[in-house]
Amino acid sequence: MAGPFTDALAWVVVGLFLAGALLRSRERSGARAVTVAAWAVFAAFWAALVPHFAFEQKSFVEGFLSLAAVPASLYVGWLLHDGRDSLFVLSKAVAVMGVVYLPFETIPALTVGGLALPSPRHALIAVVTDQTMWVMETLGYSPTLVEGDQGYLNTFKFVTDGGHVILFSLILACTGIGSISIFVGLIAAVDAPLGRKLRALAIAVPIIYVLNIARTTFIGLMFGKQYMQWFVDEVLFLFGGTDPYKVSFYLSDRVISQVLAVVALIGVTYLVVRELPELLTVVEDVLYVVTREEYDLREALDLPERSEVGPGAD
């Protein structure tokens, strides 16, 4: 995220969504109004992130998606206000996503009883860094692991044949926790037996995690070894950059990896809905927001019918 302001705004958003879900579960009045307000604040949150993604990170994919999320969030709020109750499921999913993700983004390192505890962010990045290093070494590469700007070992040091030092640092966005939190939220929000929810998680989480390690390895090697120094002047112009050594990073991360990440999420979604067809309610709602057309995806995807016997059916 961009900084303390958006971190605080994110917690406000999650708090509103959680309050709306709680009111809804207890059939209390005010659930709709609170959830509609949550979507309005969610729109403000995405608007605040647009400059960060588009100009600081120079990510066209994330910049476009964050910009598109502003009117989309407002439209969802309007549809919910207008009576589209199925959107309460998506709203609950956003709340769970935030509960999973935000601790990694916002909780700092702590000292309890003289015992120093690393931040959740540090712990997760350390695991992903170690596993990325293992894959690189398995493939025959041996960058040096050095301390990065965040104060811990999360940076791969490469040296080109000409002696130029290239540093590739892993941050929270490199861990896959964002995508994992999306699926945890979606799976937790739908009304389905626990057994099938757990099986859906067993499909989504390992696939996302493994693909993410492949992604960090790919970007690190392409950038560190300068394997994608293509159309240098054109790429620098497109991304507003000046460092020719970053061309391989722009192409491998900002273009190839981010586009493939969208494709991978679509594929994982398909695998998950085959185990958890109830998730189609959310997918159909998202498609309606994007296209303003109703969809019936169960028949289109040739998904099996689920006959539930009771709460424990799986």
Catalytic one of 32, 121, 196, 215: 215
CB-based contact 105:94 (threshold 8 Å): no
Task: List, as one string, the DSSP characters of 88-142.
Answer: HHHHHHHHHHHHHHHHHHH---EEETTEEE--HHHHHHHHHHHHHHHHHHHTT--
CB-based contact 89:156 (threshold 8 Å): no
CB-based contact 268:287 (threshold 8 Å): no
Tell me which residue of 193, 186, 257, 189 sits closest to 220, measured CA to CA: 257
- Residue ranges of the alpha helices (H) in 139-193? 177-189
In this structure, what token pair is assigned to residue 60?
């066209």
CB atoms within 10 A of CB 305: 6
CB-based contact 87:79 (threshold 8 Å): yes
CA–CA dist 90, 51 (Å, integer): 26
CA–CA dist 127, 305 (Å, integer): 40
CB-based contact 231:202 (threshold 8 Å): no
Tell me which residue of 260, 151, 165 sits closest to 216, measured CA to CA: 260
CA–CA dist 20, 80 (Å, integer): 12
Catalytic one of 121, 174, 196, 254: 174
User: Is 174 among the catalytic positions?
Assistant: yes
User: Is 199 among the catalytic positions?
Assistant: no
CA–CA dist 18, 218 (Å, integer): 37
In the chain, DSSP finds a helix count (H) and a strand count (E) of 12, 5
Q: Known catalytic residues?
A: 174, 215
